[in-house]
């Protein structure tokens, strides 16, 4: 039976760079004799994602022409102007880069996993204007922005070329049953007979607002793909294993099993706001999703982006840039007068104290300060809140959580005590 799902990005089949069997053994043996280039956590996640086809149709880390064009125009000249919103690059110390010849093969090493993750044939060495990348991709050069800091901390020289991937690190074992490759997810969608699938991006525990977004999408699609990040986040965010427990608990208790599927992916967050929203839609297309849910402040951080900038940027795309379409959902909240979840488009009640805006940042701040009793019952399902309270109670060091523009979440709770 042929698949009814959207095709991978670029229109072909999944580009799988992860070696197996004898090819893997031979490449690993060769890699042990090559110069080792250390990878950052972000680079490691990007390499793994290329290996499993998540970044189809990329074949390796980008060269300078593609890097510059992706930053300025979101296009890859080397692939006939293929849409791509964020650079995927690898950097090295200058002295190390100087020692590498063009055409030489190198091994890519992860300190995090203490193993060789892959190999690359170096076709290009180049330097970049880091501020140019930050201003174009992140719209700021402020080092307080975690994505900007990630770019500015890159080493002096970028290395580009095709890769062969040898390992997925500990993701398959640490997140067994959650970490899934695109081909496996597509097979599950096909098995269920789904054609239209809406993806929900999660980097936080799943609260009532996320649940509401997913259920809205579920009404207009065959299925919901709850896709959680299991790579690294910024300090103060809740770790992946805790988030997985929260999400699984909510899915098990409050969703129709046949209409929802949950999985995880290995990338680090870049916090690029609108550009990252586009990247999320791009690689969800590779997983077989026809739609990407874009809510308030998608992939944002602090006050760097407007609440709906990630929705607006989809209007700037040219025809054919993406097959996966954005499913925009307005600001959501609990309305005490409606006695349920609502949005700006569905709720007429604007009186002071009627709306409880659900902020994950505000929740983390209260829990980190031992103020679980101050969390309104309408914010989170009790099973989820129990997991989070236990997590924060077990911390040996206090986590500082900074609030920002979007963290007005519980201002109205005083009018409606539990």
The catalytic site residues sit at 203-204
Exposure string of 90-103, with b = 16+ CB inside 10 Å and e = fewer, is bbbeeebbeebeee
Q: Which two tokens stand for residue 141?
A: 């050069």
Distance (Å, whole) CA 11 – CA 181: 18
C-alpha dist (Å) from residue 164 to 89, 117, 155: 15, 9, 22
Torsions phi, psi for 124 (to 5 deg): -160, 145
Q: Which two tokens stand for residue 355?
A: 């709306």
Q: DSSP label at 90?
A: E
* 412 neighbors 354 (Cβ within 8 angstroms): yes
Distance (Å, whole) CA 192 – CA 179: 19
Is the four-CA dihedral 300, 306, 310, 313 of positive or negative sign?
negative
* 19 neighbors 252 (Cβ within 8 angstroms): no
């Amino acid at each position: 039976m042929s698949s009814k799902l959207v095709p991978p990005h670029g229109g072909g089949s999944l580009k799988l760079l992860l070696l197996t069997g004898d090819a893997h053994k031979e490449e690993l043996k060769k890699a042990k004799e090559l110069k080792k280039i250390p990878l950052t956590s972000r680079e490691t996640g990007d390499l793994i994602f290329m290996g499993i086809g998540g970044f189809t149709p990329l074949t390796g880390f980008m060269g300078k022409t593609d890097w510059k064009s992706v930053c300025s125009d979101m296009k890859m000249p080397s692939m006939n102007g293929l849409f791509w919103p964020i650079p995927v690059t690898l950097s090295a110390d200058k002295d190390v880069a100087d020692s590498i010849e063009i055409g030489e093969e190198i091994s890519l090493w992860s300190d995090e996993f203490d193993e060789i993750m892959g190999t690359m044939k170096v076709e290009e060495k180049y330097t970049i204007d880091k501020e140019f990348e930050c201003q174009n991709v992140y719209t700021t050069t402020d080092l307080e922005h975690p994505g900007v800091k990630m770019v500015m901390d890159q080493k002096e020289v970028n290395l580009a070329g095709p890769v062969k991937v040898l390992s997925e690190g500990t993701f398959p074992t640490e997140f067994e049953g959650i970490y899934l490759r695109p081909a496996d997810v597509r097979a599950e969608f096909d098995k269920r007979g789904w054609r239209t699938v809406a993806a929900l991006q999660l980097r936080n525990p799943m609260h009532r607002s996320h649940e509401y977004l997913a259920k809205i999408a579920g009404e207009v699609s065959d299925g919901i793909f709850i896709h959680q990040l299991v790579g690294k986040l910024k300090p103060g965010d809740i770790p992946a294993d805790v988030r997985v427990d929260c999400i699984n608990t909510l899915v098990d208790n409050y969703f129709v099993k046949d209409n929802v599927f949950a999985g995880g992916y290995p990338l680090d967050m870049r916090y690029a706001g609108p550009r990252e929203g586009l990247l999320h839609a791009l690689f969800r297309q590779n997983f077989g999703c026809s739609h990407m849910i874009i809510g308030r402040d998608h992939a944002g951080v602090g006050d760097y982006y407007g609440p709906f900038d990630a929705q607006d940027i989809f209007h700037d795309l040219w025809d054919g840039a993406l097959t996966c379409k954005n499913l925009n959902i307005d600001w959501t909240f609990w309305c005490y007068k409606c006695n349920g979840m609502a949005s700006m488009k569905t709720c007429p009640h604007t009186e002071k104290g009627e709306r409880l805006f659900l902020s994950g940042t505000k929740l983390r701040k209260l829990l980190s300060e031992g103020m679980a009793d101050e969390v309104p019952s309408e914010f989170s399902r009790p099973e989820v809140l129990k997991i989070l309270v236990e997590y924060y109670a077990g911390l040996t060091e206090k986590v500082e959580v900074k609030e920002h523009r979007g963290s007005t979440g519980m201002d109205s709770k005083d009018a409606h005590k539990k």
